[in-house]
A and B are shown apart, each in its own frame.
Chain A
Amino acid sequence: MSETLTPNVNVQWPSSNTSRVPYTVFTDPELFKQEQKEIFLGPNWNFVAMELEIPNKGDYKSTFVGDTPVVVVRDEEGQVHCFVNRCAHRGSVLVFDQTGNKEDFTCVYHNWRYDLSGKLKSVAFQHGVRKVGGMPKDFSLDDHHLTRARVEVYYGLVFATFSDETPPLKEYLGERMANHIARVLNRPIRILGTYSQTLHSNWKLYMENSKDSYHASLLHTFFTTFKLNRLSMEGGVMVDGGGGHHLSWSKRGTDSATGTEYEKPGELRSLNDEFTLADPTLINAWQEFDDGITHAIQTVFPNFVLQQIQNSLAVRLLIPLSAEKSELYWIMFGYEDDTPEQHDMRLRQSNLIGPAGLVSLEDGMIGNFIQRSIKHEENHSAVLEMGGREIEDQQSRVSEAAVRGFWQAYRARMGQ
């Protein structure tokens, strides 16, 4: 599905490295169309579902790969399939609800019927009425299956790709990213809640935000106030996948504010020592993993986030709706073997995340703060120099290395 860039797309990168990002990449509608081809329908694995969302045969959910509507479904053998939600006849959507269970997919318009793997099984009146009319003799059902994606499932995460060039999922993830997914999804989980959030910003601004460990304790003041996350805590950033994937991690309880700007009163807006919780059970937590890591945010290019904030576990699926609008779908989960006490702690900590999250609600807005100030801006660029200009693992989270990595992967995919 790769083609050369259309002449309408005119993105001028000021530098061969990724320490400068021209603002036009967030506003150009032609570029948005190009991204659909080169990235979302191109040689990348898109996160589409958790297997648990469709536990039984015939269970399906509708979602998106980029802005292409797709259906993710489990067939009779338990195999997961993903195909474009569009009848091969005249292009009507096949599924027009969010989730459900079906034995097959029949288009409401002319009753063309597909099996759960997306293969066309029958066409209404294919042989006409009493042998009069109908499809031409040489019409073959096999020529009209749904547009099907390749699907791979890794530790319960369902990924789909429409390109034959995409390497196998595990290779695409790389060892370290695959290991971290296995670390979190190490045993059977339970979905605890879902919701979504409209972001009035380009999808790339959200991916930048997720990879930006520099902002965490500066924008999100709840964290810092309660010493949940300071950049002075032990932590680091890993960048893989040609820059496209990242993992930032930290360990609570290892930080010292001595000698940092956190010590100087009035230096950082995010410090407010007056503020104490009337009910500190909100931040009660237990050591979830033996490695001592209490916070981990992982992204997989182009649309996936895996989150561990204390005991608040979630995956996030990013859907680009237009150059200036996106949707973020959240799935919160715990483990099947959670004790009632652990479940209760997770429930309390669910207040920390999502569109109403005490430590995350600002992320819903910050992309739009950028989007609204760069309209029609063709000459200026964002500056990404925190932690240097390179893209390599970082010992500190005061770094934009993972954000630069994203742009490296992006430019490579877009041929820019």
Chain B
Amino acid sequence: METITKFNAETTVNAEVQHKVEQLLAEYAATIDEEQYRDWPQYFTEKCLYKIISRDNYHKKMPFGFMYCDNRNMLRDRIASMKNANVYEPHTYRHMLSRSVVTDGGDGSLIARTSYMVVRIMHDGTQEIFSTGSYIDRIVSEDGKLRFKEKIVVTDSTRVDVLLVIPL
């Protein structure tokens, strides 16, 4: 997974697949940015991996990060807790995504690596770069739709400003 950014990788997929993957990522980001949080779990397969971990810990192969979910119900619980239980100041995200480097995962899946930048917009208007990093995604086709079987959010920084409640 770490070598997918090879120069002119021959396993690069065709333009149509590339387009579909980037479409998926664009929709994923828009869903979060437009606060459609209850729709967020549908981007994942029933059994899945969603993990947020710092780049430092990712490279050291540390098993624990900021968030860990291995099925869609855990993703739903994250949103349920965010909406019903947790206390935080109202804020939204704005994602900026790079083009994706998409390669064939070999088992019918696709692997995509995409840089992201998330600006956090607080209720009082404060806008700050909240997180930058890389999505390392394993994507599969299910019922004619592309979904994330794995989404590892590798944050460039080891530090979070205040708190992290809305998924990246």
Interface contact A222-B68, CB-CB below 8 Å: no
- Tally of contact residues, B, Cβ under 8 A: 35
Which residues of A357-373 are within 8 A (CB) of B? 358, 361-362, 364-365, 368
Interface contact A361-B163, CB-CB below 8 Å: yes
Choose one: B73, B76, B86, B159; the contact of A195 (CB below 8 Å). B159
Q: Known: A222-B85, A351-B68, A356-B52. Is A362-B62 also a contact (CB below 8 A)?
A: no
Chain B nearest CB from A253 CB (Å) reads: 21
Interface contact B57-A365, CB-CB below 8 Å: no
Interface contact A358-B64, CB-CB below 8 Å: no
Interface contact A355-B63, CB-CB below 8 Å: no
- What is the 8 Å Cβ interface bit string for chain B, positions 66-78, against chain A (1 contact, 0 not)? 1111010110111
Instruction: Provide the main secondary structure of the chain B interface.
Output: mixed
**Chain B residue at minimum C-beta to C-beta distance from A278:** B73
Interface contact A354-B81, CB-CB below 8 Å: no
Chain B nearest CB from A359 CB (Å) reads: 9
Interface contact A275-B73, CB-CB below 8 Å: no
B4: interface (CB < 8 Å):
no
Interface contact B64-A355, CB-CB below 8 Å: no
B5: interface (CB < 8 Å):
no
Interface contact A356-B74, CB-CB below 8 Å: no
Interface contact B77-A194, CB-CB below 8 Å: no
Q: Known: A197-B159, A197-B160, A278-B80. Is A358-B86 also a contact (CB below 8 A)?
A: yes
**Chain A residue at minimum C-beta to C-beta distance from B89:** A365
B158: interface (CB < 8 Å):
yes
A196: interface (CB < 8 Å):
yes
Count class of interface residues, chain A? 35 or more
Chain B nearest CB from A10 CB (Å) reads: 30
Question: Which of B88, B159, B162: most chain A CB closer than 10 A?
Answer: B162
Interface contact A358-B81, CB-CB below 8 Å: yes
Chain A nearest CB from B112 CB (Å) reads: 23
Q: What residues of B have a CB within 8 angstroms of the CB of A221 in the complex?
A: 85-87
Interface contact B84-A195, CB-CB below 8 Å: no
A282: interface (CB < 8 Å):
yes
Q: Known: A193-B53, A195-B54, A222-B81. Is A356-B62 also a contact (CB below 8 A)?
A: no
User: 13 A-B contacts, Cβ less than 8 Å apart?
Assistant: A192-B64, A193-B64, A195-B159, A197-B160, A272-B85, A275-B85, A343-B63, A347-B63, A351-B78, A356-B163, A356-B165, A358-B85, A365-B87
A contact set with B: CB distance below 8 Å:
98, 191-200, 219, 221-222, 225, 272, 274-275, 277-279, 281-282, 327, 332, 343, 346-348, 350-351, 354-356, 358, 361-362, 364-365, 368
Further pairs besides A192-B64, A278-B80: 11, Cβ < 8 Å? A98-B56, A193-B62, A222-B85, A277-B73, A277-B77, A327-B159, A350-B68, A355-B66, A355-B162, A356-B66, A365-B163
B contact set with A: CB distance below 8 Å:
52-54, 56-57, 62-69, 71, 73-74, 76-78, 80-81, 84-89, 158-165
